[in-house]
Structure 1
Amino acid sequence: MPERCPSKPISYTEQVILFALMTSLIALSIDAMLPALAAIEADLMITDPNGRQYIVVSLFAGLALGFFIFGPISDSMGRKGPIYVGFGIFMVGCLLSIFSTSFEVMLVGRFLQGLGAAAPRVISIAIIRDQFEGRAMARFMSLVMTVFILVPVLAPGMGQIMIMVLDWRAIFWAMFILGVITSFWFALRQVETLPAPKRSHFSVSRIRLSIAEILTNRTSFGFTILAGFVFSSFLVYLSTAQQIFQDQYGVGDLFPVYFGALALAVGGASFTNSALVMKLGMRNLVRTALWALSALSAVYLVVALLTAGQPPLWSLMIYLLFLFFCLGILFGNVNAMAMEPMGHIAGIASAVVSSISTVQSVIIGTLIAQTYDGTILPLVSGFFGLGLVSLVVFYVTDRKSSPAPSP
């Protein structure tokens, strides 16, 4: 990978776009595949009706391990080198998935995709923390999310077109090409933000002590667990979206339109958050979003029960649009709050926060998604229950946090 100093420093806007593209490897690996799940299920002879969900879940399992590996390494070797390794693993995973002829090989390829994509995801957070803190960090992450949201808006449609014109394997070729382009852009334009004098010696004892510091810091640990509960509900949606829209409601080729509309709600919330967070602070926004999410889910759970889990599609879309706006407020703020006290160990902290929350979401989200029974009751119940638990975690963490000025 070429390593050179850019002729002129990367601008704030270019860095936002670059980091959004780096983060989008994960989104593209998930969202572009959703319209293809039924085709993959038939081609690879998956017999379990909910088995296709593991094509999504296996990627998150790789992410969880990758987060934990690449974060500490970036504190010792610098930020850029480990990201190159991650890009390479991601591309190998793409190739393995392209040439897979069995469900098991597909899952290995998906796991490697997640393992590799974890590097640009977790280390980009460390790079951001190297340069920003507090509300400025939350604002930058919200802007990244705003640009990034174009991927889940467009990816399902791209996947749908590829299935119609070519086949599902072409989707993995698109992921591979994006990985190549992004890796070279990063190499040529992004400077190293952790110079050698600031790097830490890699040792198991240091990692253990750093993990202990994060786990015993009430703010970091509390908001890490909160992030896990929030993302668990989102993972339930990602795992069941294709079944709900195409199998249950029969939207067919219009699935990308519905999926993209909901992604736009997250993007709109992220853009709104980037403006409001500097005025209102992260805690106020998180508190409001959690209450709104829980209240909306409580009301719609009643609607779902009264319709035996088959409410009109238009009502489901209205509910999810408002719900996803709340999630867009939560995503950037909760992670920034978990990272706020850990600037001195940003790499390991980013790894631990991301790894714990991802493992938590994979376990909880998979258990809920596997209960899908042809109705939306598991989805809405999951959002409601996880919303209430998240509120409890928020208030316990906020009450016990040190009485520093609210970020």
Structure 2
Amino acid sequence: MHPREFVAFIASVMAVNALGVDLMLPALADIGRDLLVTEANHRQWVVTVYVLGFGAGQLVYGPLADRFGRKPVLVATLAGFIAASAFAARSGTFEALLGARLLQGLMSASSRVLAVAIVRDGASGRQMARTMSVAQMIFFIVPILAPTIGQLLLEIGPWRFIFYALGTFAAFVLAWTAMRLPETLAIGARMPISIANLRRSYKLTLTNRFSIGYSCAASLTFGAIIAFVSSAQQIFVDEFGAGRRFSLLFAICAFSMGIASFANSRLVERLGTRLISHSALLALILLSIVHVLVILAGWETLSSYVVFQALSMTCIGLCGSNFGAMAMEPVGHIAGTASSIQGFITSIGAVLVASAIGQAYAGTTLPLAIGYLLIGLAALAIVFVVEGGQLFRARMLPR
């Protein structure tokens, strides 16, 4: 592929998962009403169950991708995602829908593992961070547009149309993969699936302090994103009465992450992953402290919430791709398996964090603001330990 097509392709693969999370946000109230969900906070499980499957599935795809190559695994899982979308569209109960969402998450897990592994097959370090940042910049357009697209689909049909749309987009990416993606893992670099190989790969990934440390830090920041996404409809519509403005306000917050990724793609090779991400963590902590004080003082409004949320998303956007690149750097020679382990840690940790914050929602934004403060402090503590007490400094990671 031409480099521009390659970046667009990686962004599209990642967008399968982003659409899986964001496209149905405007429909959560309709889903709850149609499937007799009486507790409003339970509607959040439509998002969190998906992310749970997304995390669990990543343990499988890394070893498969290292053994059979990237392309066949991606083709098979995209086909599975299409089938799961059809099951979700035909669900008659909330439990059946959650089962279909879990299956969707399991299938879409390959998008994260394989996007990272395919990029890592041809790049590393700051170059990898730059490529991923450009892809994520395009990828973040999806959350900006997804609620609006979902709202438009609701204008012409029931919430089930949204899941048919998900299957259609996955079919497009499947066709693109089949026709244009070359296999990026050489036959000589493929690893047989064996207990001994898996043990070595797991040991290396889980015992390297950069790999495990930055994966844990990434799980916290990803949890912040999922907490916002899963509770966004309740906060904007139920608490602030935003109504049809929900899609626009959500897009503003998501757009800030896109801007952050664009800035990171331009600056990372000059400033380095550490300076950018560590500074962003400190900024997130300071923002969260101010936000908590504003809420406690009774000054929180829809406008103030959007400003604080957008700025927080900017900080988080400056952490994500850099944390991922730093976690992958010392284990690039086992990129498939390492990506699956790191992705599992990141996603499952994010579900736990997001569930704790989301289920604490009780009509105010205070749980989210306090959650962001705790996330920033915990991530900074992890980074401090990983870096041996020396933040910001560029270094060559041990292989």
Q: Tell me the TM-score normalised to structure 2 length.
A: 0.97
Pick closer, same or farther for the CA change 1:317–1:406 going to 2, 3 Å: farther
Is the 1:17–1:147 Cα contact (8 Å) retained in structure 2? yes
Alpha-carbon distance, 1:400 to partner: 7.1
Matched, 1:378 2:367: yes
The alpha carbon displacement at 1:43 in A equals 0.4
Unaligned regions of 5+ residues in structure 2, if any?
none
RMSD over aligned Cα atoms: 1.3
User: Would you say how many aligned residue pairs link Structure 1 and Structure 2?
Assistant: 395
* Equivalent residues of 1:71, 1:122 under 8 A apart: yes
- Hey, what does 2:379 align to over in structure 1? 390
State the SS of the aligned residue for 1:399.
coil
Partner residue of 1:4?
Answer: none
- Structure 1 spans left out of the alignment, 5+ residues: 1-9
Q: Closer, same or farther in 2 for the Cα pair 1:306/1:404, shift >3 Å?
A: closer
**1:35 matched to which residue of 2?**
26
Distance 1:356 1:55, change over 3 A: same
Give the match for residue 230 of structure 1: 221
In the alignment, which of 12, 17, 33 is matched to residue 26 of structure 1? 17
Query: 5 Å matches for 1:104-253?
Result: 104-253=95-244
Q: Report 1:4-23 matches (<5 A).
A: 10-23=1-14
Q: Give the match for residue 43 of structure 2.
A: 52
Report percent identity of matched pairs. Answer: 38
Give the match for residue 352 of structure 1: 341
Distance in 1, matches of 2:249 and 2:172, equals 29
Please report how far the alpha carbon of residue 208 of structure 1 lies from its aligned counterpart in structure 2 after TM superposition: 2.1
Q: Name segments (4+ residues, structure 1) moved above 4 Å.
A: none
Matches within 5 A, 1:73-92: 73-92=64-83
- C-alpha separation in 1, matches of 2:205 and 2:387: 16
How many angstroms does 1:184 deviate by?
A: 0.8
If the length of structure 1 is used for normalisation, what is the TM-score? 0.95
Shift of 1:405: 2.9
Tell me how far 1:222 sits from its aligned partner.
0.6
Question: In the alignment, what sits opposite 1:99?
Answer: 90
**Which residue, 391, 395, 398 being the options, matches 1:405?**
395
Partner SS for 1:95: helix
AA matched with 1:405: R
Alpha-carbon spacing, 1:294–1:400, altered in 2? closer, same or farther (3 Å): closer
Deviations 1:215-266 (A, max 9, x none): 1101111101100111111111111001000111111111000011111100
Amino acid at match of 1:245: F
1:2-44 per-position Cα deviation (integer Å, ceiling 9, x unaligned): xxxxxxxx11110111110110111111111110000000000
Alignment of 1:62 with 2:53, yes or no, is yes
Provide the rounded CA distance (Å) in 2 between the counterparts of 1:212 and 1:400.
24
Of 268, 279, 296, which aligns to 2:259? Answer: 268
Contact 2:295/2:365, CA 8 A, preserved across alignment: yes
CA gap of 1:404–1:251, structure 2 versus 1, over 3 A, is: closer
